[in-house]
Amino acid sequence: MSEPSAWGRSLTFWTRTNLIYLMAVTVTGALVRLTSSGLGCTDWPACEDASPVGEAGFHSVIEFGNRVVSGLAIIPVIGAWLALRHVRPDLQKWIWALVVGFLGQVVLGMLVTRTELDPRVVLGHFLLSIVLVWLAAGLLSGAITRRDFRPTSADALMVATRGSAPRTAEPAEMRIQTHGGTPESPI
């Protein structure tokens, strides 16, 4: 296998950064929830009226920190999109799904604040975070494998849990023999 081009290395870097960043966003979101900081900022997008960070109390710092981390998550998405255009245009749908999901998170984040933590909106916000992590893992899986590879849910899960993906497009074949049977007659 030949050495990846500069764009190929860039794609791997940005897709890996994207996955790590989206996991960090999920963790900071959990921190907001676990510290009961969800209404540390009572306004959106600023924290309090026109002030970006509010009174700088514990809860507002946690909440606004999550907003900053979440807002910066678009940077690796843009980096991955730029690299994809040059080396893997076949993965464009993954990046566009991330962009749509990112915009959905912005809207849901606003609604979480405006509805004063309505549990249904909070749940939707969390579930979309999980979907975004899955999409980022699928994108990374596709970026680090052969050109003809089409990422699947299993590949995305493998990348998210192990940090690697299969290097071939062919599925692995596994045979299990039980009770002394043969592959032709397993029982």
149 close to 143: Cβ distance less than 8 angstroms: no
Q: At 154, list the tokens.
A: 């299993």
How high is the pLDDT of residue 19?
95
**Phi and psi at residue 65, to the nearest 5°:** -60, -40
- DSSP character string of 108-161: HHHHHHHTTS-HHHHHHHHHHHHHHHHHHHHHHHHHTS-TT----HHHHHHHHH
User: pLDDT under 50 in the chain at which residues?
Assistant: 148-149, 168-181, 185-187
Q: Which residue has the tokens 């249904």?
A: 120
6-162 CATH, one of 3.40.140, 3.80.10, 1.10.150, 1.20.120: 1.20.120
